[in-house]
Amino acid sequence: MAALEQLPESFVQRLAEILPRDRFGGCLESFSQLKPTSFRVNRLRTTEEGLMEELESEGFGLTRIPWSSGVFSIDPDQRRQLTDSAAFSEGRIYIQGLSSMLAPLVLGPRPGETVLDLAAAPGGKTLQMAAMMENRGRISAVESVRGRFFRLKSNLERHGATLVKGYLMDGRAVGAKVPERFDRVLLDAPCSSEARFTTRDKASWAHWSLKKVKESARKQKRLLDSAIRSLKPGGTLLYCTCSFAPEENEMILDGQLRRYQGQLSIEPLELPLDNIQPGLVEWRGKTLNEDLVGAVRILPTSEMDGFFLCRLRKADAS
Ligand code: SAM
């Protein structure tokens, strides 16, 4: 198996500890597979019907994704043709991984709400939320890396997301600056990106080490604390990463659930997929909050990348 020989040995060993035994082989194989290119119709700029007609007339073979309207995939061989298309350059579609699209769907922002996207660039999820909110309400999109911030700004403009205000700042400072401000908060946390590894590109894992996992975890802990503080009583928060590591996922949440005991609870997720695993309630001998079973790890397949999602609710003001 190509992935077994090429990916870092300690990563593969850890993965065998994390994932269900009967799914491990398939997951490992997925690191060598070229996935279809998925994209979302940008309803701020066009309609699904018009766009399908346009792309089909240009020769694209569209496959509809059953669990979300306005989402399609094409053969990866057509990716280049898609990025050269007018629909792409005019912001009528946004190319986005299927797992990544789950986060806004699960957070569920509504028109008129006040939403924080705490780690926003390049903006795929910000744009998806803008469309879900029909450009009504407010999204504050925070990004700390200058180059990425300007990429976010240009994506917002190209895709017509007028309800977004961008902030070039460290997300760790937001909670103290604007406590209890937002109805919903998305924290798509910077991570070790384990779910992005591909045997087709050694650079995808060149940065990876256990040290990197621990460094990411330190930052995630502070970002999540900031996210929780910025949330209104009764508000909803979605924490997600593209890492498999429990240190970046369940353990971060376990720590904050202990810290905010009685003020924060997990809202169990139910997703219309069969490549999912409930959150871990134990890792390497440490018992974690039993409600973490309501979090979800998306198992990587030939169609989807791995991902981790957990939805939290802040208690109402007493
Ligand atoms: N949500 C984005 C999307 O769907 O397009 C992807 C976000 S990516 C997983 C995480 C982002 O967090 C990166 O752009 C990274 O530069 C940014 N980041 C890292 N540290 C940060 C911090 N302290 N505050 C805010 N953003 C940060």
Domain ranges of the chain: 33-95, 97-314
Q: Give pLDDT tens digits for 52-90.
A: 999 999 999 999 999 999 999 999 999 999 999 999 999
pLDDT attached to residue 318: 75
Decide if pLDDT at 3 tops 80: no
Q: Which two tokens mark 257?
A: 């659930």
pLDDT for 221 equals: 98
> 157, 155, 123: which is closest to 140 by C-alpha?
123
Cα–Cα distance, 184 to 247 (Å, whole number): 24
CA–chain centroid gap for 182, Å, is: 19
> What's the chain's average pLDDT?
97
Percent share of the chain, pLDDT over 70: 99
Topology agreement, domain 33-95 and domain 97-314 = no
**What is the CATH topology of the domain spanning 97-314?**
Rossmann fold (3.40.50)
CATH superfamily of 33-95: Sun protein; domain 3 (3.30.70.1170)
Instruction: Using the predicted structure, report yes or no on whether residue 4 has a pLDDT greater than 70.
Output: no
Instruction: Kindly report whether the global pTM for this prediction surpasses the value 0.95.
Output: yes
Q: Among 40, 118, 139, 143, name the best residue to mutate to test ligand 1's pocket (greatest count of ligand atoms within 8 A of Cβ).
A: 143
pLDDT at 5: 72
CA of 192 to the centre of ligand 1 (A): 12
122: preceding bond cis by omega (within 30 degrees)? yes
Ligand 1 atom showing the smallest separation from residue 223 Cα: 23
Per-residue pLDDT, 1: 64
pLDDT, one tens digit per residue, over 194-211 is 999 999 999 999 999 999
- Residues 102, 298: contact at Cβ < 8 Å? yes
Q: How far is residue 141's CA from residue 151's CA, in Å, rounded to a whole number?
A: 12
Mean pLDDT, residues 181-185: 98
Section 209-228 average pLDDT: 98
CA dist list (Å): 90 to 39, 46, 71, 86, 131 = 14, 10, 18, 6, 16
86-129 tens-digit pLDDT: 999 999 999 999 999 999 999 999 999 999 999 999 999 999 99
Looking at 191, 240, 242, 310, which residue is catalytic? 242
**Is position 27 annotated as part of the catalytic site?**
no
pLDDT(2) > 90: no
Nearest protein CA to atom 16 of ligand 1, as residue: 145
